[in-house]
Amino acid sequence: MDKPFKTKITEMLAIDYPILMGGMQWISRAEFVAHACNAGILGFITAESFETPEALREDLRKMRDLTDRPFGVNISMIPELGDLKGRTYQLADVVCEENVPVVETAGRSPGPLMDRFKAAGVKVIHKLTSVRHAMSAQKAGVDAIALLGFGSGGHIGLEEVASFISLPQAIEQLDIPVLAAGGVADGRGFLGALAMGAEGILMGTRFMITRECPIHEEIKARYVKAQAHETVLLMKSIQNPMRSIRNRFAEDLEAMEARGTTLEEIIQKVAGTRSKRAYVDGDPETSLLPTGQVVGLIKGVKTVKEVVDDVIREAVVLRERLAAMAS
């Protein structure tokens, strides 16, 4: 396929299409991410999926055998517990030592890591949930931001502002490229984001429902079945809302929050290894299934390349339709 959409992001990252596959916990390892890169986009390996920094290093080296295209690493700077802060620095050092060209940071300001990344020539794309935080990230020196809207999956922040509002606001106020993150699954959303001034998109949910994605087929089937109104925001009581598919686990957690519970009880309930087990065992009711409202637009399981090709092909057709309307 030709390269019909040249943007600041395609130029910055040396990719064919301005589409990024966001880092997904437990899922985004070399074998999966390489399919995204080979399809002409950029994917992120999730650093927190590995027990040790050296295990991440092994996966990065494996990636070199699977693709000769650019790829990135997701580093989530979640609130420090124990030696997590030191671990984050170690993961960042591995990224720099292995000459990874770009990182996706999230969770809090990447400021403490910027000197490391800049010295190593690593591009930084910070994923966040508000224009206010985007301005701070720009001051910290990031190269681009990915802005999550209210309908996005996973941790969506406290702003509760839709992408159609926050995206143009960010683009007006920032000097660095802005990516639309969340709420996009096809060429319609892709072209709409570009029309608002975005330099590209970042997708997660759509890529979970692909043949190459290493989660159980029963979990994929549950995602395909889900409708937009069947997602739910959880953990609002601890100021850390997450959007997930409404299932038995989500309803149990809702009930816990409604009657009042502690931070410790919620953290124990949503321990990340639960999702990891569900992805392997295939029980769609016993853990969180993070997803965006865009899940309601996804009709079936495709290959990663088919998803990318379909987005670009549909966007080209729509662009031609709009051009015809203006003639």
Residues near 208 by beta carbon (within 8 Å), at least 6 away in sequence: 24, 27, 215, 220, 223, 291
- Same domain for 123 and 250, yes or no, is no
Instruction: State the pLDDT at residue 111.
Output: 93
Instruction: State the pLDDT at residue 274.
Output: 67
- Same domain for 91 and 233, yes or no, is no
- Same domain for 29 and 129, yes or no, is yes
- Same domain for 53 and 81, yes or no, is yes
- Same domain for 77 and 179, yes or no, is yes
Is 254 a domain residue? yes
Task: Report which of 127, 86, 139 is spatially closest to residue 103, judged by C-alpha positions.
Answer: 127
Instruction: State the pLDDT at residue 314.
Output: 97
Element (H, E) at 155: strand 154-155
Radius of gyration of the chain (CA): 19
- Same domain for 76 and 90, yes or no, is yes
Number of domains observed in the structure of the chain: 2
- Same domain for 95 and 235, yes or no, is no
Neighbours of 321 (CB within 10 A): 10
- Same domain for 201 and 185, yes or no, is yes
Mean pLDDT per 10-residue run, the chain (327 residues)? 91 98 94 98 96 97 98 82 72 97 93 95 96 95 94 78 90 97 94 97 96 96 94 84 90 89 81 75 90 92 98 97 90
Is 275 a domain residue? yes
Instruction: State the pLDDT at residue 86.
Output: 84
Tell me, what CATH number does 51's domain have?
3.20.20.70
Q: Are strands 242-245 and 200-203 parallel, antiparallel or unpaired?
A: unpaired
Residue 48 amino acid letter: E
- Same domain for 145 and 231, yes or no, is no
- Same domain for 54 and 111, yes or no, is yes
Instruction: State the pLDDT at residue 260.
Output: 87
Instruction: State the pLDDT at residue 318.
Output: 96
